[in-house]
Structure formats: C-alpha cells, structure tokens
Chain A
Amino acid sequence: MSKTALRMEDSHAGPVCVLSISGRIDSGNAADLLDRLNELISSGEKTILIDFKEVLYLTSAAFRVLLVATDEAEQKAARVVLCGLLGQVRELFEMGGLLEAFTIHGSREDALARL
C-alpha cells in the first residue's frame, strides 16, 4: 500500500470517538472520509474528534468534507472537533482561511482534556 494512502481508525476515549487519520486526503479519497464520518454520526456518536497528526497533506476536497460533516453533526446534536494540525497541514487550513470554521484543539491529549 502506498505511503500516502488514506487510513482511518476509530477508537473511544470515554464518550469521545477518536478518528485517527493518516496519509493524504484529496479528490480521489475524500468521499471515503465523508462516508466514515457519516457512519459515525448516524451510529449516534455525539463527539467525534478527528486527529490529523499523521496526515501528510490534504486538499480543498478534505475541507469540503469536514464542512459538510460538521453541519451534518450539528443537525444531529453532535459535534466534530479537530486536533493534531501540525506543520504543512495547519498551514493549509490557514491558506484556506479555515482555522476559524472549525473547533480545533492542539494535541489529542489537549482535546480529550477539554471534551
């Protein structure tokens, strides 16, 4: 499997569902991320923390998915929260003017301490 292939793994930390993502998120696989988020929201998860620490790069296709999923979650009284935005990944959020469009914490530990 390519080093940049998208991998997603969810686990629980108390009431928080943590979705760890690694690899790249682009036009070719963003729909897979949306499917996974929709599954988690539909299954009744109320707080979904997406950890970007292992993400290599992402494109605007990822931002669209995150915006759609955030809205979908709010309609179901749930929330999507982001953490682990480092280096180039954080810069891409900045370039898109998107840092204020989401709830973003530093590390996973920081996020779990606040959720």
Chain B
Amino acid sequence: MAKPVSQTTHVVIRNDIADLAALRTAMENVGAEHGMPEESLFKLQIVLDEMVSNVIKYAWPEAGVHEIEIRIAVRDGSVEVEIVDDGRMFDPRDAPRRDKPLARQRLQPGGLGVQITKQLIDRIDYARIGNRNHTTLTKHCVLQRTASVRE
C-alpha cells in the first residue's frame, strides 16, 4: 500500500525569474511546518532554483507568458517536488554528466544546474504527458514533524 500523502503544497508561477521568490517562500514554509533540517531545506531550494530557472530560460524559445506548476508533497521520510510545464520536451535524466573539471568557456545552458541537481537529490523521474513535461525530484530527509493526513 502506498504511503499516504501528508500534505501537498501547490504553487503556480509565471515564466519570470522574479516569480522564483514565491516558490522559495513556499518551500521555506513547508520546511518550517515539517521541521525540516536546514541542510535538506537548502538542498531543496537549490534544486528548485536550478530546475525551475532552466524551465523559465529554455522551455519556450518563442517566449510569451506561460505558467509553471510546482507541487511539493511531504511524505513519510521524503519530500517530492513535481514541476509541470508545457514547454518543449526536456528529460533531465538524459542530460550528459561532465566528468572533467569545467573549463570556463565550456558552460552550456542548463547543463551545470542539472548536474548539481542530480547530486543533491535521491531520485529524478520524468514523463511527457500530453504536451507537458512532468519532472519529479525526490529527496529523503528526516522530518521533525509530520502534518496530519488530509487525504
């Protein structure tokens, strides 16, 4: 039987870097509510910034205003972040890993953020459903408090 979802926070932002502040605040609130250790919270803030800023910068070459949905689900012993966008298809699991130290001139768009994200989280899942990317990041962490089940 699947573990019950303790609580899900749903955030919708526009494809504007300034909107990342609202996402950061939502993650901070989730961390505070569940007594998340600071190190885990900071790691989640980093991966949110990396992955959502990549979506903002690269998902829509034609520009225009778009929405990005983020669901933060706190389960027993882990935090799951799902990022949903209707931009061009991008599976972060396919992004190549750099093995050598990065030379300054070889920074590729998005590559560094994905590389760091993969090392900070425990699991990354991806699905293209309809015209949307669903990227799910899972991080195990010890939570001091578990919210009441709301299902």
Interface residues of A (CB under 8 A from B): 24, 26-28, 56-61, 63-64, 67, 70-71, 88, 92, 95-101
Contacts and interface: CB of A to CB of B under 8 A. Distances in A.
Interface of B: 17-18, 20-21, 24, 39, 42-43, 45-46, 49-50, 53, 98, 100-104, 107, 112-113, 115-116, 119-120
A60 B103 contact: no
Interface SS majority for chain B: helix
Given A26-B20, A96-B102, A57 B112 contact: no
A61 B56 CA distance: 13
A98 B49 CA distance: 19
A28 B50 CA distance: 11
Contacts of A96: 102, 112, 115-116
A106 to B, nearest CB: 19
A59 B112 CA distance: 9
Given A59-B113, A101-B103, A28 B42 contact: no
